[in-house]
Amino acid sequence: MQEDESKRSDGRSSTGLEGLDGTGSDMTRLVSVSDGVFAFSLTFLVIELVIPAASANGTYPNLANYLQRQQTALEAYVLAFWIIASWWSSHRRLFSPIVRYDETLTRLNTLFLMIIAITPFLVGILAEYGAGANLNPGTQSTQVAVALYAAIQGIGGLILFAIWRHSTRNHALVRPNLPASWIRATERAQLAPIMVFLVSIPIAFVAPFVSEVLWILVIVGLRHVLIRKVRPARDRLPEG
C-alpha cells in the first residue's frame, strides 16, 4: 500500500499513466513521435531534388548537364541527411537510459524536434545560397545562409545537451544504476558537434566553404572518434 501511494505521489504509476504534473514512466509515445519527426524530415529533404521536365516541344534536357546544375542541391541533401541522421543517433543513445519523463523533458524534446523539422527548409536555403551554389562564395547571401544553418544546428545541439543534463541531474529521469563516468563521457561527446557548429558561424562570414567542411568532419571523423572513447564506459553499463 505504501509503495502504491509513493508511486501516485510522484505522478507516476505502474500502468504508465501520466500524473497531473506531466510526469510519467511510459516513454513510448515521446520516443515514437521523435522518431516520426526524424523520419519525416529525412524523407522531406529529397523534395529539393527536382526531376527534369520536358520542354514545350517534348524534349528533355541533357541529363549530364541537368545533374551538374543540380549539384548544389544534391550536396546539400547528402550533407543535411547525414547531419539529421547523426542527431537521430545521438537522440537514440541519450534516451536509451531515460526511463521516465517530466514536463521539462517533454518541452525540451519538443524544441529539439522543431529544429529537426525546420532543417529541410534550411537545406533549401543552402541549395540556393550555400557555398556550393552558383554565387560568389563571398557574397553576403552565401555567408548568411551558411551561418544560419550552423546557428540553428548549434542551438539544436545545445537543446539536446540540456535534455541530457536535466535527465541525469541527481539521476532524476535515468536508470538509478547509470554510472557517473558514462554520464560525463556522453556529455563530452555531445559538446564536440555543438562547438564545431558554433565556431563555424563566424568562419562562415570569412570562408563559407570551410564551415561546411567542418560540418562534414563532425559527421565522418570527430564524432566517431568521440563515440569510440565513450564506448568502453557504455560497455560496462549494468543491466536492469
Average pLDDT, the chain: 79
Which residues make Cβ contacts (< 8 Å) with residue 14, sequence separation at least 6?
7
pLDDT confidence tier of residue 12, bands split at 50, 70 and 90: very low
pLDDT confidence tier of residue 18, bands split at 50, 70 and 90: low
Which residues make Cβ contacts (< 8 Å) with residue 231, sequence separation at least 6?
none
> What confidence score (pLDDT) does residue 72 get?
76
Quote the cell numbers at residue 239: 543491466
Quote the cell numbers at residue 4: 502504491
Do the beta carbons of residue 187 and residue 230 sit within 8 Å? no
d(CA 80, CA 87): 11
**Section 182-202 average pLDDT:** 89
**Section 84-105 average pLDDT:** 92
For the full predicted model, state whether its pTM sits above 0.75: yes
Distances in Å between the Cα of 189 and the Cα atoms of 11, 23, 92 are: 32, 28, 14
Q: Is pLDDT at 125 greater than 80 in this prediction?
A: yes
Residue burial 175-199, b: 16+ Cβ < 10 Å; e: rest: beebeeebbebbeebbeebbebbbe
Q: Chain centroid to CA 45: how far?
A: 14
Q: Is 36 exposed, middle or buried (0-12, 13-18, 19+ CB in 10 A)?
A: exposed
In this structure, the number of other CB atoms found within 10 A of the CB of residue 20 comes to 6
Alpha-carbon torsion (200, 204, 206, 212), positive or negative = positive
With H, G, I as helix, E, B as strand and everything else as coil, classify residue 24.
strand
Quote the cell numbers at residue 43: 524523407
Q: For residue range 172-188, list pLDDT tens digits in order.
A: 999 999 998 889 888 88
- Greater confidence (196 vs 138) lies with 196
Q: Is pLDDT at 152 greater than 50 in this prediction?
A: yes
> What confidence score (pLDDT) does residue 14 get?
42
> What confidence score (pLDDT) does residue 114 get?
96
Q: What percent of the chain stands above pLDDT 70?
A: 75
> What confidence score (pLDDT) does residue 220 get?
65
